[in-house]
């Protein structure tokens, strides 16, 4: 086990409810959902946050962004969804492994 919760989930060492997996990224259900559908899209590679990205991550980030509507559709979110990325303590990031929140269900309130 590493010290990183999401590395352990990606490696299958900590259980999670996966809804999507490929060679670069996975998506699983958030343990404390803030909407009817609340998923986390997570790179297999450990990158702590947006602050740690460099140009070697460009293809990975593009891949994860393009996954969002695909996974959302698979979850029945035909009318749209919300994406949130928290960065660092000031952004409310609790898990220091980059992740994209994907939320949807009944129309979400304005932000």
What positions carry a catalytic annotation?
99
Residues in contact with ligand 5GP, shown as a per-residue x/- string from 39 to 78 under the rule CB under 6 A: -x--------------------------------------
Sorted by sequence, the CB contacts under 8 Å of residue 28 that are 6+ apart come out as 9, 16, 17, 18, 19, 39, 40, 42
Count of residues that bind ligand 5GP according to CB under 6 A: 13
How close are the terminal C-alpha atoms of the chain, in Å? 37
Choices 19-27, 54-62, 79-87, 94-102 (CB under 5 A): range interacting with Zn ion: 94-102
57 binds Zn ion (CB under 5 A): no
């Amino acid at each position: 086990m590493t010290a990183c919760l999401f590395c352990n989930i990606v490696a299958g060492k900590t259980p999670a409810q996966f809804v999507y997996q490929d060679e670069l990224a996975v998506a699983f259900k958030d343990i404390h959902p803030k909407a009817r559908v609340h998923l986390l899209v997570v790179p297999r590679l450990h990158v702590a946050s947006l602050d740690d990205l460099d140009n070697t991550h460009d293809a990975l980030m593009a891949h994860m962004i393009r996954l969002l509507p695909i996974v959302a559709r698979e979850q029945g979110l035909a009318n749209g969804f919300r994406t949130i990325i928290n960065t660092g303590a000031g952004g409310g990031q609790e898990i220091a492994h980059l992740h994209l929140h994907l939320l949807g269900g009944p129309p979400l309130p304005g932000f």
